[in-house]
Amino acid sequence: MPMIRPSADLRNRYLEISEYCHNQGQPVFITRNGSGDLAVMSIELYEKLTSRQELYATVEKGIDDETAGRTSPATDVIRRAREKYLL
């Protein structure tokens, strides 16, 4: 279950929030005047999420290329690379 804390806790209980983020690997949702405002997370979690997003974007581009016919069989690509770089 996600942790939800008021914005004052960032100032008053920073260490507790930081430890939670690192130990649980989950973000902490910060509210301001009772409404959602921020999500705080460890750098490790942030990097994991952004890496995953980049991977999904790359896979999506590959699927789009395949759908649009912008692909070649691997054997053709290898043959062209050998001709270009080994000869």
Q: 52 and 31, same structural domain?
A: no
* pTM for this prediction: 0.76
Q: What is the pLDDT of residues 1-15, one digit of tens each?
A: 889 999 999 999 999
Q: 62 and 37, same structural domain?
A: no
Q: 64 and 33, same structural domain?
A: no
Of residues 84 and 39, more confidence is placed in: 39
* Mean pLDDT over each residue of the chain, to the nearest integer: 95
The arithmetic mean of pLDDT across residues 56-83, rounded, is 94
Q: 53 and 29, same structural domain?
A: no
Instruction: Tell me how many domains the chain contains.
Output: 2
Which domain CATH number covers 25? 3.40.1620.10
The whole domain housing 12 covers: 3-41
> What is the band of 87 on the pLDDT scale with cuts at 50, 70, 90?
low
Q: 79 and 56, same structural domain?
A: yes
Which residue(s) pair with 38 in the sheet?
30
Q: Round to whole Å and give the CA distance between 40 and 83.
A: 51
The arithmetic mean of pLDDT across residues 22-26, rounded, is 97
